Amino acid sequence: MMKPMNYAAPDLLSFADQLLQNAGLPSDKAQAVADVLLEGDLLGHTTHGLALLAPYLAELEAGKMRKEGQPLVVSDHPAAVTWDGQRLPGPWLVLQAIALATQRARTQGTCTVVIRRSHHIACLAAYHQRVTDQGFMMLLHCSDPNAASIAPFGGLDPVFTPNPMSVGIPTSGRPVLIDVSTSATTNGMTNRLHQEGGLLPAEWVMDGHGQASRDPAVLFNEPKGTILPLGGMDSGHKGYGLSWMVEALTGGLAGHGRADAPEGWGATVFLQIIDPQAFAGMSGFNTQMDAVSRQCHASRPAQTDRWVRTPGERGLAIKASSDKQGVPLYPSIMPMLLPWAEKLQVAAPEPV
């Protein structure tokens, strides 16, 4: 495996933005998508950052990602809004929802926006810091009713997607950024390892006969296997329960999901902004969260060469180092983008 090449973040942002604009996205939507994809790589989520740009460009070319328009308002209450995303770019839709929900949370204390028929929304962790920097907490979860790769606990036939769930928590220092799947691993990771001929670090998938495996190839062999729920073969009932929760918060509240005909790669989104000031106050919130953070850092490390981190701390450190060292781009990403750069007549950036 080749080593990642480092690129200047502004160069990658400009490159992605120009590719998307030349593919037909208006500048505001192109900028939003490029910004969110780059943020994924800045935080170290290499399967859900710019690795998604080539597939997004293919969706635009095929007319499966809508280029123009606004979301349709399905319902609108002061603290509860539902949109039909009309298959517009997911990152742009989520940023629009964040702007609306934060504005309303300032007066309501909280606001929830649910979006049905969004296109894919990329890395969930990429959205949170823009909310925590304002002193708000955000819950962001999504499902994709158009696909199924995770079986219910005890079953062989897939029902769910990885159904990621995420939370951004402000503190008086670094925010806490939690982004986890309700499955043992993701489609992006298993697809990448299958293409590279690699193995998963643990038995996170199950073959079509119900045997746990580290080999992602079992997802593609007949009879096709599935990704295991979070918790694996022994305690996957936990991930199974969380998958149900995400389905209710996304497809259930949106009134659109697995009961409907598939429309293609996309997402149903649950986004909730919470203003701690409206509850026990920001000072009390920070006091409690700072104490939890200190206690986690003070916990004796189980491995002497590693210290205990808060969720998202590693990603924030990677992001901070990119100013000096550039953004480490996974080796397979730029080769996927070069044919698009040639087709759309955009100069590719040079590594630093």
Q: In the numeric block, which tokens belong to residue 338?
A: 């070069």
Q: In the numeric block, which tokens belong to residue 293?
A: 């953070």
Q: In the numeric block, which tokens belong to residue 276?
A: 């701690």
Instruction: Supply the pLDDT for residue 304.
Output: 87
Instruction: Supply the pLDDT for residue 103.
Output: 98
pTM score of the predicted model: 0.97
- C-alpha span between 163 and 183 (Å, rounded): 7
Nearest to 169 by CA among 201, 145, 140: 140
Q: Are residues 351 and 304 in the same domain?
A: no
Q: Are residues 16 and 54 in the same domain?
A: yes
Q: Is the pLDDT of residue 2 over 80?
A: no
Average pLDDT over every residue of 108-137: 98
Tell me if 327 is assigned to some domain.
yes
Tell me if 305 is assigned to some domain.
yes
Q: Are residues 302 and 341 in the same domain?
A: no
187 forms beta bridges with none
Instruction: Supply the pLDDT for residue 301.
Output: 95
Q: Is the pLDDT of residue 324 over 90?
A: no
Average pLDDT over every residue of 111-129: 98
Tell me if 93 is assigned to some domain.
no
Is residue 46 helix, strand or coil?
Answer: coil
- C-alpha span between 8 and 88 (Å, rounded): 29
Instruction: Supply the pLDDT for residue 1.
Output: 59
Tell me if 290 is assigned to some domain.
yes
Average pLDDT over every residue of 106-130: 98
Q: Are residues 17 and 58 in the same domain?
A: yes
**CA dist list (Å): 243 to 57, 117, 180:** 29, 19, 11
- Number of H helices and E strands in the chain, helices first, is 12, 12
Q: State the CB neighbour count (10 A cutoff) for residue 245.
A: 15
Q: Do the Cβ atoms of 49 and 37 come closer than 8 Å?
A: yes
Average pLDDT over every residue of 302-319: 94
The rounded radius of gyration (Å) of the Cα atoms in the chain is 20
Task: Find the CATH number of the domain harbouring 19.
Answer: 1.10.1530.10
Residue range 215-268, pLDDT digits in tens: 999 999 999 999 999 999 999 999 999 999 999 999 999 999 999 999 999 999
Q: Are residues 20 and 50 in the same domain?
A: yes
Instruction: Supply the pLDDT for residue 323.
Output: 81
Provide the domain count of the chain: 2
Q: Tell me which H or E stretch contains 45.
A: none
Q: Tell me which H or E stretch contains 53.
A: helix 53-61
Q: What is the span of the domain harbouring residue 303?
A: 284-318
Residue corresponding to tokens 């309303």: 104
Tell me if 189 is assigned to some domain.
no
Residue range 22-73, pLDDT digits in tens: 999 999 999 999 999 999 999 999 999 999 999 999 999 999 999 999 999 9
Average pLDDT over every residue of 135-159: 97
